[in-house]
Amino acid sequence: MKHKMPVLTRRDFIRGTIGVTLGAPVFGLLWPKGEARAEARSLVTVVRDKNAMDSAKNIDIAVLEKMLAETLTRVTGQKNTKDAWLSLVKPNDMIGLMPTDHLNPTHDEVVEVVKNSLVDAGIPEDRIRDAQGPRNAKKCDALIAIPGLKAHWLTGIGTVLKNYILYSGSPSSYHKSNSFKLGEIWNLPFVKGKTKLVLVDSLYPLCDKGPQPDPRYQWPYNGFIAGTDPVAVETVCLKVITEKRKAIRGELWPLSPPPICVEAADKLYGLGTSRMDQIKINHYSWEHELLL
Amino acid sequence: VLNSIYYLSHENILDLDLSAEAVSAPYEHIPGSGDPKRSQFLLVQYEKPELARQALNRFHDAYLPEYKKKIPADTAADNPRLFKLEDGWLAYKLIGKYIAIVFECPDLESARTILQKNESNLLGKGEDHET
């Protein structure tokens, strides 16, 4: 039986040879961009507050604002929120906010707090828009990815990398075994280089895949997981989901389909690092069930 | 379904279809290995020995492309094939219409033992060992 695509196996992930197996010419991409910055360490900031949500899942906006401010200054190393935003975006940028609207949607409160924070930093309100949708990134100079933390029945994890799937114009081409290609969307000409911050809404994650959110697999994590390296952020998100699943079952409970997009985004598409030993996790505040 | 238990490939490299049945089990704390890592055992039953042989061929081509293939038509009396890979030892054996594979063993001996024990159990349960 002839196969059009080379066979990608578990061994390619272990060896880090996904790109070699698939072949860079298949996608017309340079391989391996990931190797060039293999020595760099990516910073991922985890900020949690047990008071972010009450038992009825009502969000405390004031706590959320504090968490965002903490996140921004920690991610950028700047002294205050305004300087932090201005180190990421320019005041005249058209800024696209990229929340997720499916399965475990980004909380509206999170989007609102981000928007208000940008305005407070001096970004005109009319320069901030919702960038979710097939062509919306084309009109933006900068993107702030704000996905909800979740596993996904079509891609294993459906948080950071999958957040841009509508930009592909062909979402179903990136499902199941083809989900390893999600990273290529981030390299589309109208997307590449525009993402200035990835801020994952981890207030109430979903650790099993759906297609409908099952409340048995949602829990209050009350956090933001953030950074400028999308793959590193996704890797940390995956760790949280994996550890939660393990805690629920008492043994390893692998995601299905496997989240092959994460390592492929690193090794094949050079978007960042998927190696935990190259990720520095800075965690602040609430320690309970950190899962990292 | 197999990939949700133990990811092997995005392709169906074991030719699994509705006529095949499989069981998989982890082995933990293998005595004497001193290695806490778990190994994964997989046993697949195909409809016919020929289908099992073809599937093992496909698995070998996809998963072990750098190793020369040597899968005889009947391996009833043959030793398992063992390979030192990146994540430990892999061993497989064709047993009539069954394929037995063990992944991530800490050493050659434990890989061999896991296959042998499972083969003994299988044959002891009256497997019609077709030749």
Q: Quick check: A7 and B9 CB within 8 A?
A: yes
Residue with the bigger pLDDT between A128 and A178: it is A128
Band (pLDDT 50/70/90 cuts) for residue A19 is: very low
Tokens representing residue A43 in the block: 């910073």
- Alpha-carbon Rg for chain A, nearest whole angstrom, is 18
Q: How confident is the model at residue A17 (pLDDT cuts 50, 70, 90)?
A: low
Mean pLDDT of the region A253-258: 82
User: Which structure tokens are listed for A32?
Assistant: 């391996």
pLDDT band at residue B79 using 50, 70 and 90 as cut-offs: confident
User: A4, A8, A11: best mutation site toward chain B, by most B Cβ within 10 Å?
Assistant: A11
- C-alpha distances out from residue A244 to A102, A119, A205, A255, Å: 21, 36, 10, 11
Residue A213 pLDDT: 87
**Contacts (Cβ under 8 Å, ≥6 apart) of A187:** A29, A269, A271
Q: Please tell me the number of Cα atoms within 13 Å of A201 on its side-chain side.
A: 29
pLDDT (0 to 100) of residue B126: 53
Taking all residues of chain A, what is their mean pLDDT, rounded to a whole number?
Answer: 88
3-state secondary structure chain B: CHHHHCCCECCCCCCCCCCCEEEEEEECCCCCCCCCCCEEEEEEECCCHHHHHHHHHHHHHHHCCCCCCCCCCCCCCCCCEEEEECCEEEEEEEECCEEEEEEEECCHHHHHHHHHHHHHHHHHCCCCCCC
Q: Report how far residue A111's alpha carbon sits from residue A117's, in angstroms, rounded to the nearest whole number.
A: 10
Structure tokens at B90: 């892999």
Q: Which residue of A has its CA nearest to B64?
A: A11
Residue A32 confidence (pLDDT): 38
Q: Which of B9, B58, B85, B89 best probes binding to A when mutated, by most A CB atoms within 10 angstroms?
A: B9
In this prediction, the answer to ipTM > 0.85 reads no
Cα separation, A66 vs A222, in Å, equals 13
State chain B's mean pLDDT as an integer.
82
pLDDT digits (tens, 9 = 90+) for B22-69: 998 888 766 665 555 678 899 999 999 999 999 999 999 999 988 887
CA distance A192 to chain B (A): 27
pLDDT average, residue stretch A17-38: 41
Is residue A38 very low, low, confident or very high in pLDDT (cuts 50, 70, 90)?
A: very low
- The reported pLDDT for the residue numbered B129 is 41
Q: Is A6 on the interface with B (CB under 8 A)?
A: no
Q: What is the pLDDT of residues B84-96, one digit of tens each?
A: 998 889 999 999 9
**Rounded mean pLDDT of A119-134?**
95
pLDDT per residue as tens digits for the range B6-21: 778 878 899 999 899 9
Which chain B residues are closer than 8 Å to A13 by Cβ? 7
pLDDT band at A178 (very low <50, low <70, confident <90, very high): confident
- Contact criterion met (CB < 8 Å) for B9 and A8: yes
A274 CB burial (10 A radius; 0-12, 13-18, 19+): buried
Q: In chain A, which residues have their Cβ closer than 8 Å to the Cβ of B1?
A: 256
Q: Beta strand B88-95 with B81-85: parallel, antiparallel or unpaired? A: antiparallel
Which has the minimum average pLDDT: A10-24, A64-78, A235-249?
A: A10-24
Collect all residues with Cβ–Cβ distance below 8 Å to A201 and sequence separation of at least 6: A99, A106, A107, A110, A146, A147, A148, A149, A224
Which of the listed ranges A51-55, A264-268, B105-109 does the model predict with the highest average pLDDT? A51-55
Report CA-CA distances (Å) from A138 to A12, A95, A102: 34, 11, 22
Q: How confident is the model at residue B72 (pLDDT cuts 50, 70, 90)?
A: low
A3 and B8 in contact by Cβ < 8 A? no
Q: In chain A, which among 21-40 make CB contacts under 8 A with chain B?
A: none
Q: What's the whole-number mean pLDDT along residues A167-195?
A: 92
Q: Is the dihedral of CA B118, B120, B126, B131 positive or negative?
A: positive
Residue A39 has pLDDT above 80, yes or no: no
Mean pLDDT over A102-121 rounds to 96
Which residue reads 């083969």 in tokens? B119
Does the pLDDT of residue B121 top 90, yes or no?
no
| pLDDT of residue A234 exceeding 80 | yes
Q: How far apart are CA A266 and CA A183, in angstroms?
A: 8
CA B2 to chain A, closest CA, distance in angstroms equals: 9
Q: How confident is the model at residue B70 (pLDDT cuts 50, 70, 90)?
A: low
Interface mutation target, options A3, A4, A9, A263, chain B, most CBs of B under 10 Å? A9
- Position A207 confidence tier, pLDDT thresholds 50, 70, 90: very high
Per-residue pLDDT at A35: 40
CB spacing of A260 vs B11 below 8 angstroms: no
Which region among A34-38, A71-75, A285-289 has the lowest average model confidence (pLDDT)? A34-38
pLDDT score, position A211? 81
- Residues A210-238: what's their mean pLDDT? 94
The reported pLDDT for the residue numbered A193 is 95
pLDDT at B86: 82
